[in-house]
């Protein structure tokens, strides 16, 4: 099963992707983890990424897509994978499509966790205030609103891109974690 998880920051993508990873025995792929692994492995694309990251620059889409292209060929991806938080924009979605077509791989579904932004912000702020480690630097209402605006401007259109392909499954991410997990499993069972 080949999946993409979409949703704004704090929607629970990582938590739900980890649960799907366990239930379906397919790896959850995080672009940050993949970049670090490619650098550590010394692959050609990893070397490119290392130079870019050493300068403090953002890794360009073509390098990130190249790392994903390499990663999905690994043995643990033979039965599928979950891309968690990628693609982040329509340009990346198109580039990912091109890579998948060349590999004769098709995404089975794109799971979007829909949330109410105001409730989401309140939930994250409450969680941050109750955390024994204290709030993260970016767990302020202002920072969260900015992250949500960036998501709406850049990433939300990715859902439309996949809706046109007929593989988008939008689920209510405002439910309790176990209920969201059940919604995802029900959606995946229809594939």
Rounded Cα distance between 28 and 5, Å, is: 10
Of these residues, 127, 149, 165, 185, which one is catalytic? 127
Active-site hit among 36, 94, 123, 147 = 147
Active site residue 36: no
**Active-site residue, from 2, 13, 71, 169:** 13
From the candidates 47, 103, 126, 136, which is the catalytic residue?
136
Is 13 a catalytic site residue? yes
Catalytic residue status for 136: yes
* Catalytic center residues: 13, 88, 127, 136, 147
């Amino acid at each position: 099963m080949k999946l993409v998880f979409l949703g704004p920051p704090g929607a629970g993508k990582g938590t739900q992707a980890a649960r799907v990873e366990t239930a379906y025995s397919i790896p959850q792929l995080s672009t940050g983890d993949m970049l670090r692994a490619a650098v550590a492995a010394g692959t050609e694309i990893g070397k490119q990424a290392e130079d870019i990251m050493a300068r403090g620059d953002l890794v360009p889409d073509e390098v990130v897509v190249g790392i994903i292209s390499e990663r999905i060929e690994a043995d643990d991806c033979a039965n599928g994978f979950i891309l968690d938080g990628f693609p982040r924009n329509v340009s990346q979605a198109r580039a990912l499509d091109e890579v998948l077509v060349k590999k004769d791989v098709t995404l089975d579904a794109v799971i979007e966790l829909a949330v109410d932004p105001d409730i989401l912000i309140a939930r994250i702020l409450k969680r941050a205030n109750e955390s024994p480690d204290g709030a993260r630097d970016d767990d302020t209402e202002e920072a969260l609103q900015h992250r949500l605006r960036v998501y709406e401007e850049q990433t939300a259109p990715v859902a439309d891109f996949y809706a046109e392909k007929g593989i988008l499954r939008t689920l209510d991410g405002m439910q309790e974690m176990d209920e969201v997990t059940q919604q995802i499993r029900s959606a995946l069972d229809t594939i």
